[in-house]
C-alpha cells in the first residue's frame, strides 16, 4: 500500500474537535444530571432527602455520585451546616443557573416536537415489522 493516502473524510477525528458541544452534552445530559439540575433550579436549595423524594427512581448511591460530579463541575453548590444533626444542602450554582435558557429551549422543543418523534417511531416500527415478515 505504498503511496496510498487515506481520504480526509476517513481520518479519525477527535469527537470534541468534530463537535465542539460534545463535552457540554457529556456534562449536562447524563442520565440524572438534567433532572437534578432541573429540580434545584425549579425548587431552590434542597437537602439530599428532598431531592431523593423528587427524583423517585434514583438510588441514593447514584444521587450521591451525581451530586458530587455536579459539585466538581461547578454546577451545584454543597453547603454543610455543622449542627446536631449535621445538615447538608444543595443548590444550583450561578454556572448551573446559566443553563436555564438551554433547558427552557429544550422544554419548548419537547412540547412542539415529541408527538412528531412518537409518530416517526411508530411509522418506522411498522415498516420494520413489515420488512421482517417478508
Helix then strand then coil, in percent of the chain rounded to 5, is 60, 10, 30
Which residue is listed with cell 413489515?
130
Cell of 51: 431531592
106 located within any domain: no
Range in 15-29, 47-61, 101-115 the model is least confident about: 15-29
Which tens digit of pLDDT belongs to each residue from 66-123? 999 999 999 999 999 999 998 999 999 999 999 989 889 998 999 999 999 999 999 9
Report the percent of the chain where pLDDT is more than 90: 66
How many other CB atoms are found less than 10 A from the CB of residue 47? 13
- Provide the domain limits for residue 92: 14-98
Cα end-to-end distance, the chain, whole Å? 43
Question: What per-residue confidence (pLDDT) applies to 25?
Answer: 86
What is the count of structural domains for the chain?
Answer: 1
Domain containing 48 — which CATH number?
A: 1.10.10.10
27 located within any domain: yes
68 located within any domain: yes
117 located within any domain: no
Amino acid at each position: 500500500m505504498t503511496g496510498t493516502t487515506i481520504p480526509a473524510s476517513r481520518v479519525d477525528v477527535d469527537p470534541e474537535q468534530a463537535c465542539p458541544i460534545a463535552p457540554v452534552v457529556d456534562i449536562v445530559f447524563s442520565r440524572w444530571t438534567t433532572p437534578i439540575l432541573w429540580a434545584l433550579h425549579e425548587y431552590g436549595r434542597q437537602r439530599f432527602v428532598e431531592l431523593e423524594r423528587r427524583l423517585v427512581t434514583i438510588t441514593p448511591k447514584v444521587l450521591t455520585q451525581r451530586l458530587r460530579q455536579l459539585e466538581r463541575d461547578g454546577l451545584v453548590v454543597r453547603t454543610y451546616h455543622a449542627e446536631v444533626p449535621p445538615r447538608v444542602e444543595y443548590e444550583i450554582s450561578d454556572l448551573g443557573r446559566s443553563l436555564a435558557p438551554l433547558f427552557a429551549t429544550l422544554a419548548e422543543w419537547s412540547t412542539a416536537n415529541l408527538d412528531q418523534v412518537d409518530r416517526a417511531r411508530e411509522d418506522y416500527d411498522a415498516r420494520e415489522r413489515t420488512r421482517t415478515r417478508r
